[in-house]
Each structure stands twice: as structure tokens, then as C-alpha cells.
Amino acid sequence: MLTPIFLPFIPFARFSMKGLFTGWITALILILYGFMGKSVFEIISWLLITGGISSFLAMNFTGSSTFTSLSGVKKEMKTALPMQIAFAGTGFTGWVITRFI
């Protein structure tokens, strides 16, 4: 929700990076208030999950901008989607591991 609101003010060109930035800022605020876990491993896992999901959600706005083209959308999806899957997958795996520690 924050990424589309602050879209012109976030300093990156790619929508996926704008979402990653916004997600991590939100996660850091939640960490300061103690909502993201107790251990360092759990906090890192939640940072990865939040970054991957918010990056994906922000990337959905790529085609709705007047500054993007179909080739630009394809290029961004080709480079950003593996990163988003890796972040969310690694974060989820780490979070599951913290449930058993």
C-alpha cells in the first residue's frame, strides 16, 4: 500500500526495487517495536519474507505506469522474479527452522 503512494519519491527506477525498499523500511519499523520476532535468525527471515513479497506486489504496478514498455516489463520480471522467489523461499525456510529451535 505504501509503494504506490510514495512511488515518485522512492529513489529507484525499477518497481521491484521500490517495493523492496518500502518493505524493508516497514519491516525495520516493525522490528523496532518488537513485532518481527525475538531471535536474530527469525528477524532476518522476516526481513527476507517481507522484502520478497513487497517487491513482488510493487512489481505488479510496472505495467500501469506511463514510463514503461512491454520490453521493460519483461526485462524487470526476468531479473526480479528469481530474487523475489529466493528471498521469500529462504525467509520462509528460515522462519520454519526457528519454530524448531
Asked whether residue 7 is assigned to any structural domain, the reply reads no
Asked whether residue 25 is assigned to any structural domain, the reply reads yes
Domain that holds residue 88: 12-100
The DSSP string of 3-17 is HHHTGGGSS-SSHHH
Asked whether residue 86 is assigned to any structural domain, the reply reads yes
pLDDT reported for residue 61: 81
Asked whether residue 71 is assigned to any structural domain, the reply reads yes
pLDDT digits (tens, 9 = 90+) for 13-39: 888 999 999 999 999 999 999 898 889
pTM of the model as a whole: 0.87
Contact 31, 43 (CB under 8 A): yes
Into how many domains does the chain fold? 1
Asked whether residue 77 is assigned to any structural domain, the reply reads yes
Closest alpha carbon to 57 in 96, 87, 91:
87
pLDDT reported for residue 64: 73
